[in-house]
Amino acid sequence: MTGLPPALSLYRLASGLAAPLAPALLSSRAAKGKEDESRIGERLGHASLPRPDGSLVWIHGASVGESRVALTLAAALIEARPGLNVLLTSGTITSAALVGREAPPGVIHQYVPADTPKAARRFAAHWKPDVAAFVESELWPNLIVETARSGARLALVNARMNAASLRRWQRWQRSGKALVSLFDWISPADGRTARGLGHLLGRALPVAGNLKLEILPPMPSNDKLDAARTIVNGRSIWVAASTHAGEEEIVLDAHQHLLARHRDALLILVPRHPDRADAIAALLDQRQLEFARRSLREAPRQDVPVWLADTLGEMALWFELAPAALIAGSLKPGIGGHNPIEATRLGCAAISGPWRDSFSDIYDAYEAHGAVTTVQDAGGLAEAVRRNWAGEGEGVAAGQTALEALTGNVLETTTRRLLSLLDTPSEAR
């Protein structure tokens, strides 16, 4: 590896100087429920498990969405190469819980280390990955540099970067090029990312396609689905999926519009981060809206208008129950939206706000096929839900058509390329 650009070297110096603050910061986050206190050592690069013998592929997915891609990819790699060791890392408690529940045999989970030179070096020295695959938009300079220096082959898988991230790297073009050039293979999920990273590298990058489109959602058991259907008992239902702070107010305004005409209306409110449930409960109390809380195993009576679904791993259940869902993260700028694919796969019509930059290619296809209703405010949201209840909204069939136009054999291609990297090890850089 040649010398790094000054800006990247300065980042490494500054993050190294700040490293002594990391334990206190992580402890503070643990006290707020944002870190697993028993595994803070992993965040400092201290492994809690031994490295298994043999080849090892490391896949990093920051949070739940990326971790689900990582799990699918891990299963495909192990199926194609039985006995292969796969290390999955993630950065959130919710993603760790997902991996713990769904990881196939042969998969190890660790928390990703903080992006300081020593923590990254310690991590790479212990695990000695033969191939390291970073899922979507994770470009942590120290982790990438130290992994490359360890001799691992690097892949940026299902690369998806929003416009702001790409602009930031364009401003630091030399550093961005130096960092991205360390990847032996890059698979852009969309055209924007392909163009942005291609501009950094000075060469064209083909769009590989989005792995998330090929991932089947985890299905609820028949018993769980039957129990939920008994609870809702034919009511007019809609879902607000993966809401963020500032969006619940809009959602509740829309629901109160609906309640004025549909007294049996039930909103299933699913926050993106369940640890915000207390704040949402306070908002519901303030509005004098009675609610049942899923995490407390409460079920809504027929006259209770809101079911606060503050649990993890049940989104498929809610999409199965409801005919329409707001795909949130899109009602306020700065979040970037969330993926509508799971709703479509489960027969639930998609409604979205206008702010969905992170999934622009998918929504462009949805718009082209009339598969999404885009709303601007609470009134529009209420009307979109009402139209779907009446069978007048953008149909599920249109969503399936859009999905067919978007999908390919991305998982097979990605699996083959990673195994090819595994079979052609590089010299330490």
**pLDDT tens string 314-364:** 999 999 999 999 999 999 999 999 999 999 989 999 999 999 988 888 899
The full length of the chain comes to 429
Q: What is the pLDDT of residue 344?
A: 92
Q: What is the pLDDT of residue 37?
A: 94
Read off φ and ψ for residue 291, nearest 5 degrees.
-150, 160
Q: What is the pLDDT of residue 215?
A: 80
- Residue 233 to residues 170, 297, 300, 388, Cα–Cα distance (Å): 54, 17, 11, 18
**Using CA atoms, how far apart are residues 208 and 221, in angstroms rounded to an integer?**
33
Quick one: average pLDDT of 157-184?
Answer: 90
Of 57-66, 256-265, 272-281, 282-291, the poorest mean pLDDT is in 57-66
Please report which confidence band the pLDDT of residue 2 belongs to, taking 50, 70 and 90 as the band edges: low
66 is catalytic: yes
Alpha-carbon torsion 242, 246, 252, 258, what sign? negative
Q: What is the pLDDT of residue 213?
A: 83
Q: What is the pLDDT of residue 3?
A: 80
Please report which confidence band the pLDDT of residue 404 belongs to, taking 50, 70 and 90 as the band edges: confident
Considering the entire predicted model, what is its pTM?
0.74
Please report which confidence band the pLDDT of residue 403 belongs to, taking 50, 70 and 90 as the band edges: confident
Of 38-47, 175-184, 213-222, the poorest mean pLDDT is in 213-222
Which of these is catalytic: 66, 146, 214, 342? 66
Please report which confidence band the pLDDT of residue 427 belongs to, taking 50, 70 and 90 as the band edges: low
**Using CA atoms, how far apart are residues 244 and 276, in angstroms rounded to an integer?**
9
Is pLDDT above 80 for 428?
A: no
Of 36-50, 84-98, 163-177, the poorest mean pLDDT is in 163-177
Is the model more confident about 397 or about 302?
302
Q: Residue 219 corresponds to which tokens in the numbers above?
A: 């299905």
- Residue 122 to residues 114, 128, 134, 146, 347, Cα–Cα distance (Å): 11, 10, 18, 9, 46
Q: Based on the number of CB atoms within 10 Å of its own CB, is 387 exposed (0-12), middle (13-18) or buried (19 or more)?
A: middle
Is pLDDT above 80 for 408?
A: no
